[in-house]
């Protein structure tokens, strides 16, 4: 099967290493299912499935949340990583970088990490994915650090978890608000994919953003929509 790139995105939600004082981008292997990646500004602990403990300015941006993961066909199939390595290193316009590859049965997830950049670039190389309805990378982050969501259409406070009352669930992923004035749905932050410049979540001190460097790899036309910020 010919390897193809399915995703290229820049994600900004990074960390000042608390366990590392790396002068630049790095990969450290802890054991056969745990690695730490980052640079002098941030670090992420990557486990067999989830990326957790995302430190930036001595603050863990994941907290009790799940963290970062890659999946296809919804949540039915999360990728599990069996190895990690630096497949390329170099300098671009005077800035050092590394390309870290995490391997799974389905393919290779790459993090391109530049020195001094509060984030990284991601792309995926398909090796054995089935016919897909969806392929995605996600961040599930601490909701007290990131209480607001933003797309090109919405910029507002996210509903607190206390608003998701089981007795008020009226249908699939839809709840009546506790005050009875309107509804909350998982898909409130859905938007047109081709009009986005960046999207994500943020608070008073931190922000986590997906920033697409181009739209040439998008499938669908100008009517294609996607869930940018999930409320559940």
Q: Do residues 170 and 183 lie in contact, with contact meaning Cβ atoms separated by under 8 Å?
A: yes
Q: What is the pLDDT of residue 20?
A: 55
pTM, rounded to two decimals: 0.88
What token pair was written down for 105? 């049965």
Q: Do residues 55 and 18 lie in contact, with contact meaning Cβ atoms separated by under 8 Å?
A: yes
Proportion of the chain above pLDDT 70, given as a percent: 90
The residue that leads in pLDDT, 60 or 8, is 60
Q: What is the pLDDT of residue 5?
A: 29
Give the three-state DSSP class for 24: coil
Res. 14 pLDDT band, cuts 50 70 90 = very low
Q: Do residues 109 and 122 lie in contact, with contact meaning Cβ atoms separated by under 8 Å?
A: yes
Helix (H) or strand (E) holding 74: none
Of 43, 101, 105, the C-alpha closest to 80 is: 105
Q: What is the pLDDT of residue 23?
A: 82
DSSP state of 198: -
Q: How far apart are CA 188 and CA 151, in angstroms?
A: 11
Name residue, tokens 């790459």: 110
Encode pLDDT of 203-220 as tens digits: 999 999 999 888 888 888
What token pair was written down for 134? 């969806």
**Radius of gyration from C-alpha coordinates of the chain:** 18
Q: Do residues 49 and 78 lie in contact, with contact meaning Cβ atoms separated by under 8 Å?
A: yes
């Amino acid at each position: 099967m010919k390897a193809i790139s399915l995703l290229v995105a820049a994600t900004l939600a990074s960390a000042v290493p608390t366990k590392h004082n790396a002068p630049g981008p790095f990969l450290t292997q802890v054991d056969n299912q745990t690695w730490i990646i980052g640079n002098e500004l941030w670090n992420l602990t990557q486990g067999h499935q989830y990326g957790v403990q995302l430190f930036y300015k001595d603050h863990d941006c994941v907290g009790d949340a799940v963290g970062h993961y890659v999946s296809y066909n919804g949540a039915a199939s999360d990728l599990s990583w069996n190895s990690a390595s630096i497949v390329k290193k170099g300098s671009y316009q005077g800035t050092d970088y590394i390309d870290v590859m995490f391997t799974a049965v389905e393919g290779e997830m790459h993090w391109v990490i530049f020195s001094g950049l509060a984030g990284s670039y991601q792309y995926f190389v398909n090796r054995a994915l089935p016919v897909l309805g969806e392929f995605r990378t996600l961040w599930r982050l601490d909701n007290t650090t990131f209480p607001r969501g933003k797309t090109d259409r919405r910029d507002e406070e996210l509903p607190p978890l206390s608003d998701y009352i089981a007795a008020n669930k009226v249908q699939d992923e839809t709840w009546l608000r506790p005050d009875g004035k309107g509804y909350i749905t998982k898909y409130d932050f859905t938007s047109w994919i081709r009009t986005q410049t960046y999207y994500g979540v943020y608070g008073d001190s931190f922000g986590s953003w997906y920033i697409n460097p181009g739209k040439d790899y998008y499938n669908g036309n100008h009517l294609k929509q996607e869930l940018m910020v999930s409320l559940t």
